[in-house]
Amino acid sequence: RFKHMIEPFKGVGSKYLDNYLAWNGFDMNHIGVNKLDIKDKLVAAIHSIGEFSTYKEVFGKPALPFSVSE
């Protein structure tokens, strides 16, 4: 099933392998779901986790105040 899922891609980077596996697991848990409804299901899953940050919010925050010792 996983091989079939990644066939359309020209290559799968091992850096993103966790994402592909999570996508495959999500797809297996939602067999028969209309692909247009998947976005709503993903958003609902994210909101059920709790608080989350966007990319812009994370990179807009100042650096943590760690002391630098030499």
Residues 23 and 17: their CA atoms lie apart, in Å, by: 10
Query: 35-62: b or e for each residue (b if 16 or more CB lie within 10 Å)?
Result: eeeeeeeeeeeeeeeeeeeeeeeeeeee
Question: Could you tell me which of 19, 15, 47 has the C-alpha nearest to residue 2?
Answer: 19
For residue 68, what pLDDT is reported? Answer: 58
What does the pLDDT look like over 3-59, one tens digit per residue? Answer: 777 777 777 777 778 878 887 787 787 788 787 787 787 778 777 877 767 778 877
**pTM of the predicted model as reported, rounded to 2 decimal places:** 0.45
